[in-house]
Structure 1
């Protein structure tokens, strides 16, 4: 469907009429599926399996024990487990008990776990005895260790419970990072989550023959898609142990051995599999779909995959999404031709029961092709943030283009623009723009350009503040297998395509990028730069160049600088350039505008400019002196003409 023009954008971008869905909870949908396929394997971990019947019964028993705590709809129960049978059983039991689950990743630092529990104040905690210590001694309800309390749980009836929660009650609360450093809990209802699977069913047609992986942390909302997408369609969910998820080779082997058909990955995690195959590790895969989410997908990085596998089996799908709008928002199949032609992240069209708007700072629709902020409305928009009424009011705003009960839209903070062929191009976070030397820079544009270099497999660009002054651009590079790439080569490549202020000053070659527990690139863990962009410096020899070099070295705090090094490439910024300007006025007695220092950014170029400027000034002074002598000699009998001075 073509993207609407600015006049019609008030209706939002929609792919088709809203898909119908059952008004029921996630646990009721699961029970219907369990009744249809009771003897099918629901969960697999290593060599152990749990059928749909057993999963249903064991979750009923645990739910009954939780019911004894007098839980109410919209109350919360924390679940803290590694990826395991107990994790899924506990999530399902919490929902059957009528509460919502609060996933706590046991690998989180103790300080963060304490912060989440203090903020959410759950009525109870489900965990294992070996993990209970990480939850500390806190007054947040009953702690049930499912292994320690197994006998009491097994004494409960496995029969179905009467439902007390409605589709409008909380299904889960997942915390996301906050720009202020304080995490915020997103409140998602059963209805928000259940409609995600019915509204996307026509694209995927998931079923009992599909094998999924539970790869992601339960505290990352991609796990919602993995767990419930699998169990509500009758598939088999393969739990991926933490150590396997951190080893691309072991995970690749698991995909082949378990004949996984539906793989959900962040781009950063999937690129590791692509590189593994490029290194020569190849096994027979049964993948039907690879679904991307969590961060921007660079299509160019998929070229080696398409060269080996084609684009039909499996189909690669890019799905832009946000926790606050229930995992996924858009759908975009990726083809081999896309990888050849595009380095951008194209995210496609919205899920049928969602509306997507591109609005300016006044919440007005932007013109076709212009950059706007993404706003999402419709049935996936969450209830808001737990205990954060002010922040909820700021981000969950009234939808001026919609009527009826679904008249709230979420302000994402992400930027995008519509392409001519009706696609959406994701441009990254609006609040990840950086300002360097007075220029506003989108880091994603530099990353996309680097990814187009024939030797670069992946690239990440950061604006770092390792020293006082303005941030400086640093590029982190993973080269393609058996290929080396030099810093000067990368810099020259970028200089031929980007303005000078967008060219990083340092380049770090890495074997892999550090990842967070959610499989995203951990930018905070990237190392400080060690290699800057210049080569062995050519030392100054001309007196003026030597004087300028000495001033530079003092301002930059470095031992040596070359006459052809760019001031901003060796650690300079606007703040330090102002110091250089003052010292040149004081120490060299030069009256030079600071704008000249921004224009002439090498010692050789600046010295030549100063010499030429001095020569021009000297020539003009001599010409004026000759003209004055001539006027005196002629007694001003005729007007002075330009030719008289020559």
Structure 2
């Protein structure tokens, strides 16, 4: 219904549509509606500093914003003045009478080469850049990863990542695409070891993705692991000693690697119990389906086995490029 409403407001393929809402079912509805309407979602986390949010709005220049009270407060009246705003927490939504059928992507002219989202990098190497990712890249990742993770309709995934990071896409679309369940941790629970443990137990979580820092926080707070949980680890180097601690209490453990520019995760390494004897840091593994990874020297030639080189990633996951930049 919301997707039909957005189409009525003029949303077109490749058009960025901003969304700034608290973590809630409405957030997921908003993301899916933007995708179904043919737009590319531009995620803004209301927990981020207002200056950062306005910087993204200025650069991407969306015409439309989906928001709630938290989003309005984070952005401020000045930023909202230049946008058409759709209130997701309206008591009587304007789209209540719209069709409950999915919009026809062919009628919209939507193809796999159109954008699914524009996500901004952290800016650690300068000004944040908007990475433009197409539907085909996201679908390739989801199909490849559903095979790797062996996810099914029986799985329950605990989603803890802000939608301003692309890995939130895995947490939401991987279980939903398999008919599984998503449990959304709220903003306060995500960094709280006790709250996360309660969510893991209460909802019988079978899969969770987090950084090594978050997994260490859980273990240090006394979490013993859960035999039914598949542990997915990424975002920073995974020390072997942490991997062996995690492995003792999990159904399976996997290390993941990939930059935003190559769509969520590009490589994967399944971790066996003997990992601590082999490596100081756990390897990033092998590329996922339809992906290639090369280690090249300064001249673009492959380095010898065991030598240091620069990582080049090619294949279906490579993003279209940076918004408004070379």
TM-score normalised per structure 1:
0.48
In structure 2, what is the equivalent of residue 99 of structure 1?
39
In structure 1, what is the equivalent of residue 231 of structure 2?
290
1:88-167 mapped onto 2 (5 Å cutoff) = 88-136=28-76, 137-138=78-79, 140-148=82-90, 150-163=92-105, 164=108, 165-167=110-112
- Cα deviation, residue 179, structure 1: 4.3
- Residue deviations 1:302-355 (CA, integer Å, cap 9, x gap): 33334x42xxx4110001111100011111111221124422231111112101
In structure 1, what is the equivalent of residue 246 of structure 2?
305
Structure having the larger proportion of residues in helix: 1
Cα pair 1:263 1:287 within 8 Å, conserved: no
Cα pair 2:297 2:310 within 8 Å, conserved: yes
2: distance between equivalents of 1:330 and 1:282? Answer: 28
Cα pair 2:22 2:71 within 8 Å, conserved: no
2: distance between equivalents of 1:178 and 1:111? Answer: 13
1: distance between equivalents of 2:313 and 2:286? Answer: 12
User: Would you say 1:62 and 2:7 are equivalent positions?
Assistant: no
Q: Secondary structure at the match of 1:135?
A: helix
Cα pair 2:67 2:86 within 8 Å, conserved: yes
2: distance between equivalents of 1:303 and 1:378? Answer: 32
TM-score normalised per structure 2:
0.94
Selected match of 1:259 from 187, 193, 204:
204
Q: Secondary structure at the match of 2:311?
A: strand
In structure 2, what is the equivalent of residue 190 of structure 1?
135
- Cα deviation, residue 276, structure 1: 2.0
Selected match of 2:314 from 348, 366, 377:
377
1:154-553 mapped onto 2 (5 Å cutoff) = 154-163=96-105, 164=108, 165-277=110-222, 281-282=223-224, 285=226, 287-306=228-247, 308-309=248-249, 313-389=250-326
Q: Secondary structure at the match of 1:195?
A: helix
* Higher-RCO chain (CA-CA 8 Å, sequence separation at least 6): 2
Moved over 4 A (4+): none
Cα pair 1:260 1:286 within 8 Å, conserved: no
- Cα deviation, residue 178, structure 1: 2.7
1: distance between equivalents of 2:124 and 2:146? Answer: 34
* Cα 1:262–1:357 shift into 2, 3 Å: same
* Cα 1:209–1:286 shift into 2, 3 Å: farther
1: distance between equivalents of 2:280 and 2:95? Answer: 53
1: distance between equivalents of 2:269 and 2:192? Answer: 28
Q: Secondary structure at the match of 1:272?
A: helix
Give aligned pairs, total. 321
2: distance between equivalents of 1:290 and 1:234? Answer: 20
- Mind listing any 5+ residue stretches in structure 1 that lack a counterpart? 1-60, 390-646
1: distance between equivalents of 2:101 and 2:289? Answer: 37
Structural RMSD (CA):
1.6
- Mind listing any 5+ residue stretches in structure 2 that lack a counterpart? none
* Cα 1:150–1:363 shift into 2, 3 Å: farther
Larger-Rg structure: 1
